[in-house]
Structure 1
Amino acid sequence: MITSKQRSYLRSLGHNLEPIFQVGKGGLEEGFLKQIDDALEAREIIKISVLNNSGYEAREASDAICSELNCEGVQAIGNKIVLYRKSEKKQKIQLP
């Protein structure tokens, strides 16, 4: 669990990121979750776009992904979500 100060710091890092994945009508399939898992390990913080035809609201998609991948939902605004998980191998982000 991250603190509100850490969440604020991560939101500032995620603000300038471009979404690297889109949750579409295929939903949250196993292969898609594996790609997100790999991206979180490599980058620690990622932004995902939730399309209207996915059947998910941004907060629902964030909660579903976080429960599957054991990551933190940093932010869900509009149709964008920002996720964070500390890397096991090489940590890049130092939380305050």
Structure 2
Amino acid sequence: MRLTFRLIFFWFVMMLASLCHCHTPPGSCQTPDKNLGQCVHFSACRFVLRQYAMYKEHMPPVIMRFLQRSRCRPKVDGYHLCCELKDVIPANANSKLK
């Protein structure tokens, strides 16, 4: 009886855990300012492209720190960061700043 209860309880907990993750899209993340984002290569994020277009090599330290805190993958995978959903450039779109 106890073993059956434990198995049912374990199954119930596992089902709840799977339901909690079903609404979170793959690759989703949270930006440093707590917004929902997607982990993408920096070139697929309009925010980064706008900042670079505005400042070039003279990006303010506060923006550089924000971008560093946005990193969502190890360096060996390239520079991926958590980009706010509204700024993500779709993979099939032209990657120029819009």
Larger radius of gyration: 2
Which structure's residues are more often helix, by fraction? 2
TM-score by length of 2: 0.27
Which structure's residues are more often strand, by fraction? 1
TM-score by length of 1: 0.27
